[in-house]
């Protein structure tokens, strides 16, 4: 967040695509499921030449907004 001024998030429909693009074959990852209504910081959706805009959190992620933590492991071919 310090470098960009925000935290990149994804909607449930975007998670697999983003994970495959950024974290192909990475292990020991966790997925944080966030409850947007509990966020203290501003959540904005921005399009980057994609049909669906991506959520960005402008401020720290407060821990009580994290509803679930799930292990995210790639398949044998490195995809999610």
pLDDT in tens, 36-79: 999 999 999 998 777 889 999 999 999 999 999 999 999 999 99
Helix (H, G, I), strand (E, B) or coil at 20: helix
The confidence score (pLDDT) of residue 48 equals: 78
Count of structural domains, the chain: 1
Task: Please check whether residue 54 lies inside any domain of the structure.
Answer: yes
Task: Please check whether residue 78 lies inside any domain of the structure.
Answer: no
- Domain with residue 39: its CATH number is 3.20.170.20
1 band by pLDDT with thresholds 50, 70 and 90: low
Task: Please check whether residue 80 lies inside any domain of the structure.
Answer: no
Range of the domain at 38: 7-72
d(CA 74, CA 80): 5
Neighbours of 36 (CB within 10 A): 12
**Tokens encoding 50:** 């994609």
């Amino acid at each position: 967040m310090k470098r960009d001024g925000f935290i990149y998030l994804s909607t449930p429909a975007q998670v697999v695509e983003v994970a495959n693009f950024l974290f192909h074959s990475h292990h020991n990852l966790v997925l944080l499921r966030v409850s947007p209504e509990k966020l203290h910081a501003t959540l904005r959706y921005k399009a980057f030449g994609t049909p669906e805009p991506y959520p960005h959190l402008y401020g720290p992620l407060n821990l009580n907004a994290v509803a679930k933590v799930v292990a995210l492991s790639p398949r044998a071919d490195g995809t999610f």
